[in-house]
Structure 1
Amino acid sequence: MLPTLLAGVAVFWAVFRLLRWGRRESFLPPGPPTVPILGNLFDFPTVYPWLKSAHLMLTEMARQYGDVYSMKIINSTVVVLSSTTAIREIMDKNSAIVSDRPASHFAQEITGGNHMGASRYNDQWRRLRRCAREVLTQSACRNHLNIQQAEATQLMYDMLTRPEDFFDSIRRFSTSAILSVLYGKRAPRITTPEVTAFFDAEHHWEELMQPGAHPPVDLIPIMKYIPERWASWKTEVKITRRLQRKLYFDLLEQVEARMQKGSSNGCFMETVIEKGPGFGLDREAVGYIGGNLIEGGADTTSAFLQTLVLALVNFPDVQARAQEELDSVIGGEHSPQPDDIERLPYIQAVIKETHRWRPVAPTTLPHANIEDFSYQDYIIPKGTIIFINAWGIFHDPEVFPKPDEFNPDRWLQDDMKSDRTYDLVFGTARRVCPGMHIARNSIEIDAMKLIWAFKFSKSKDPATKRDKVYDLNDFVKGILTGPSRFECEIAPRSSHHAEVIRREFLSATQIFEVFEQQLDSADREFVGKLRRDLADELHLL
């Protein structure tokens, strides 16, 4: 009798607990209505959570429930922040306890806890972070401006000679610049193996890490035991791990080989290899530091620059005004140099507005808190998943009037000149991107050079002969995003601009050669022919 009674009590208790799943506790901030067990599972968008769709969007919910609202995803709590005030009150004041990441089975299986962006807030993360921060100081990053400047001259040349390939040329630039800075090896072609390998691996990684895109293994742990033939995500995890490790550790081996031969070139990974043991990092962790920094410097920078081109094409008045400023400050005898950005307030405003208008990380990477804390009359319990709705903040009409318009002038107003809201794209609390100085340098150099060099305009519709109409919300899915491929017309602003581009690209040869020691035969043949042909062309001019 007693065993039966105990079993009944146990079943009742289990059912009682299960039925409480999905309910919003009274101490949480308000939010959309929940349903039993699932909570708001079907309210949380799985694709384009920052743009309009059939789902209740994160930003739309902020308008209804406030700048801090909560959702229940089965038995987990999600809090969404949609104002700078909320970020200051929650993220800045509680930075020591909100810098965790939600548990990620996928990230753990792929990287073994060595991914600096996705790992939990633990001793290993602190070791990784400390190493990256000490190596990637602002002053140290300035030592690498020469190769970033040189890579930007190749991007100008590539867009001059193959404007139809601008989308891939931007990808080549961003990847080659970060590879040169980190590993001392550049990527001179769109098809350089490291470029194609990175974007292949990154596509798989972003697909896996996108919230809601795959079954909630972290919320329902028993799903980990589903056989692989019925769990396609397990195959995807294996593919992603293989692709990442092949790229990251092949690059690491090349740096080690170069150091052993005494041919170091001052790249960051040489310093990490030397100092890694002092930070308590083994070779596995060192390999992932470099790989994580490639992610932060290649994909995000290329997405930003592609977005910039999309904006210049669709807002010609902005382009004309930016070029007027460049002409008056820089002139036409040479392209802009890194330090020129300080004298170009409108170009700075264009960069900030691009970050605001279409942020690369519309919801940023989610945070989690390691202990309970209070906010106003609410309690945010330990383990809450915290999303920063950067898109909603950047498109709040109370802060940014007519937010869908691309208007750099808003950043030139006295009350906005010192505003750092756009820094959200680099993260917050103790999860600020350690490679932000490298990324900023690349973005500033290229924004100046591309606007100085080219006129960007709409392509013509072959059928109507009219300007094409661009969907300004057509962005690729993923937790990091950029515009889907689009066509546009790109032409040098004058024949003189074209000649300056050619001369500056050829004059960068000495800088490039330092980072070309380990090119494969196809890349070596490519750069040799390219420079011979360009020298002959300039001789004829």
Structure 2
Amino acid sequence: MLMCSKHITAHSRLVMLDLISFVVLLALCLPCVHYFSKARTRRRLPLPPGPKPWPIFGNIFDLPKDKPWVTYREWSSDLIYLDLPQQPTVILNTSQAILDLMEGRSKLYADKPPMVMDELLNWDWNFAFMPYGSEWRATRRTFHQHFNQQAAQKYHPIQTREIRVFLKRVIAMSNENKILDSGVVSQTFAATILDIVYGMRIHDFSDEFVSLSRKAVECLVISRLPGVFWVEYFPWLRHLPSWLPFSSARRFAAQYRHLVDTAHHKAFDALQDTATNKAAAPSVATTLIHDLRNQPQDTEHYKQSERAARDATGVAYAAAVDTQYGVMLHFFLAMVAYPDVQKRAQEDLDFFVGPGRLPTFEDSASLPFIQAILLEVLRWHPIVPLGLPHRAFEDDEYRGYSIPAGTIVMANTWAMLHDPKDYPDPEAFNPDRFMRDGALNPEVRSPVAAFGYGRRICPGRHLATESLALMIASILHVFNVEPTEDDVSTGTTTGLFSYPEKIPCRLVPRSQAAVDLINAESS
């Protein structure tokens, strides 16, 4: 009986162990079963609606050639699926869809798709295009350290100086009609960012580093036009000899790649030499280089830090100019198309700033209507109307539709910022939509979407908006923006960046006192 009892006890223990093992195994397996069941369900879910694809070519021939952001909105669907070879793409077409996915599920959509043209042009070091990962985090962390909202304040003296130099350049323009030279606008932002990033003082738009930045961004804008280079959809085309048809991507890359490399490295390399003997002017790059000097150089950490420093400063140098330049061009267009807005802003400037000085950053709180003008410019014509492409990390579902892992997801920022539910009469330029009782209305959705979304939102937006607001205030304080044509067109170009088709305006001093003030304060 004793032996039998022992066997029963042992058997009971084995049964108990088996039961416990089964429960543990079940607990471990259930999440997997749930995941694969959900994955199968997602595969059974339909893809978002979109045009019927062609065999092999998918929807390549359906890509809109002119202002695709407008066409996509006219297709009237929250989500649009484009079956593109190697690049299945979903367009998010409404505020709700964009915010639900890009903000509400930002981790899932923080990745970026690798682009063949970025690699061929050597633009893949730009952290705006990097896949989500350790290299991206290191570069963005370096950039954010020097361009976050608090850090950006130390660059106010440089920004103020260059904006006042711009005012003086306008006064000195040789043409009698004072027709705006858009190159002077671009030069202002180039001079500002080159001083901040590399400690360089720029006095001429033909300066080598201004030209390098302009050409490097020019090739980027062209290369990212959907449908321009089929190598994005058929990557094997990159291996064709450049003299064969369908190898235009290789020929284009061969033309520009050296310029991109030079823009990326030349200024940083030059500073590495001068920073050693402390001859370089203070700048973001010299600070980073001095920090690198204190690290052991034969380590992987040093290599990563050096690469992050080089890439972060290169992005600031190459990307900041064209975006701010575009915003200012749209501002000038708005002023000639809506003169009442200009008059209202000048009344505020006359009252809060007065005739005896130029605006400063300290005036910002007293000039909410100037801030509202900037917000409306960003909303009215966002510079990157379709945003930059993101990529889904894993399978997702939204509103009964499947978004498979690896799908490129693009937010129609223009459609979001022209949603009449959020912005009544969205085609009109109306800064008052952001105002209430003489102050900015916090209940109106900010057009921060113009700077991107979620974890990939532009980290340089604070520096940009501060520069833009002060430049707008300074221009309106001393100049009238007048049209040069009777019929002002508000049309825009098509591309990665969207600019006005033309800028039919001139800057005319409001008075001789304004001229004297410019000469006195910009000397």
TM range (shorter): 0.7 to 0.9
For residue 479 of structure 1, what is the aligned residue in structure 2?
Answer: 496
2:96 is equivalent to residue 82 of structure 1? no
Q: State the one-letter code of the partner of 2:410.
A: F
How many Å separate the matches in 2 of 1:154 and 1:98?
Answer: 42
User: Counterpart in 1 of 2:337?
Assistant: 314
Report the CA distance between 1:46 and its aligned residue: 3.7
What's the CA shift for 1:455?
A: 0.3
Counterpart selection for 1:33 from 42, 52, 59: 52
Which of 445, 448, 453 aligns to 1:423? It is: 448
Q: How far did 1:35 drift? A: 3.5
Q: How far apart are residue 88 of structure 1 and its match?
A: 2.2
In the superposition, the TM-score normalised over structure 2's length comes to 0.84
Between the aligned partners of 1:413 and 1:223, the Cα distance in structure 2 is: 56
- 1:228 counterpart = 2:242: yes
Would you say 1:493 and 2:501 are equivalent positions? no
In 2, Cα distance between the equivalents of 1:228 and 1:387? Answer: 31
Instruction: Provide the secondary structure at the position in 1 that maps to 2:409.
Output: strand
Map Cα deviations across residues 21-49 of structure 1 (whole Å, 9 max, x no partner): xxx98522223333333332222224432
Decide whether the 8 Å contact of 1:151 with 1:177 is kept in 2: yes
CA contact (8 A) 2:216 2:260 kept: yes
Structure 1 Cα separation of the partners of residues 152 and 169 of structure 2: 25
Report the CA distance between 1:245 and its aligned residue. 1.8
Paired AA for residue 153 in structure 1: R
- Residues 113 and 120, structure 1, Cα contact 8 Å, conserved in 2: no
For 2:243, what is the secondary structure of its paired residue? helix
> Offset of 1:206 from its aligned partner?
1.1
Cα deviation, residue 336, structure 1: 0.5
Residue equivalent to 2:222? 207
Match 2:274 to one of 255, 258, 280: 258
Q: What is the CA–CA distance in structure 1 between the aligned matches of 2:463 and 2:422, rounded to whole Å?
A: 29
After TM superposition, list the pairs within 5 Å mapping 1:445-456 onto structure 2.
Answer: 445-456=470-481
Are the counterparts in 2 of residues 360 and 480 from structure 1 also a CA contact under 8 Å? yes
> Aligned partners of 2:337, 2:302: CA distance in 1, in Å?
48
Q: Look up the SS of the partner of 1:50 in the other structure.
A: helix
Instruction: Give 1:213 deviation, angstroms.
Output: 1.9
Q: Structure 1 residue 221: deviation in Å?
A: 2.2
**How much does 1:50 deviate?**
3.0
Conserved? CA contact 1:183–1:251, under 8 Å: yes
Which residue does 2:431 correspond to in 1? 408
1:210 Cα deviation from its structure 2 partner: 2.0
- Give the aligned partner of residue 48 of structure 1: 67
Aligned-pair distance for 1:205? 1.6
Partners of 1:275 and 1:427 in 2: CA distance: 30
Secondary structure at the residue paired with 1:456?
strand
Give the equivalent residue in structure 2 for 1:527.
none
Closer/same/farther in 2, CA of residues 253 and 279 from structure 1, 3 Å limit:
closer
Contact 1:127 1:280 in 2 (8 A): no
Asked if 1:144 is matched to 2:155, the reply is yes
1:106 counterpart = 2:99: no
CA distance in 2, matches of 1:457, 1:189: 26
- 2:218 maps to a residue whose letter is H
Match of 2:209 among 162, 169, 194: 194
Aligned length in residues: 466
Please say if residues 107 and 115 of structure 1, whose CA atoms lie closer than 8 Å, have aligned partners that are also in contact.
Answer: no
Once the 2 structures are TM-superposed, how far is the Cα of residue 416 of structure 1 from its aligned partner?
4.8
The answer to whether residue 475 in structure 2 is matched with residue 457 in structure 1 is no
Name the CA distance, whole Å, in 1 between partners of 2:511 and 2:239. 63
Structure 2, unmatched stretches of 5+, are: 1-42, 296-300
Q: Does 1:438 align with 2:463?
A: yes
1:61-98: CA deviation from partner (whole Å, max 9, x where unpaired): 1xx22x22322123642111122221221111221121
Q: Residue 505 of structure 1 corresponds to which residue in structure 2?
A: 522
Q: After the TM superposition, which of the residue ranges 402-411 and 72-81 deviates more from structure 2? A: 72-81
1:93 aligns with 2:118: no
More divergent stretch after superposition (482-491 vs 324-333): 482-491
Deviations 1:216-264 (A, max 9, x none): x233222122111131221221232211222332211232233122134
Check 1:75–1:148 CA distance in 2 against 1; reply closer, same or farther (3 A cut).
closer
The equivalent of 1:510 in structure 2 is: none
Task: Supply the AA of the counterpart residue of 1:241.
Answer: R
Structure 2 letter corresponding to 1:255: L
Indicate which of 238, 260, 279 corresponds to 1:244.
Answer: 260
- Does residue 174 of structure 1 match 2:189? yes
C-alpha change, 1:25 and 1:393, in structure 2 (3 Å) is farther
Once the two structures are aligned, what percentage of the paired residues are identical?
27
Match of 2:398 among 364, 367, 375: 375
The separation in 2 between residues aligned to 1:209 and 1:171, in whole angstroms, is 22
Give runs of aligned pairs for residues 116-131 of structure 1, distance below 5 A: 116-131=127-142
Distance 1:402 1:284 in 2: 47
Alpha-carbon distance, 1:60 to partner: 1.0
> 1:471 Cα deviation (Å)?
2.2
Cα 1:279–1:352 change in 2 (3 A) is farther
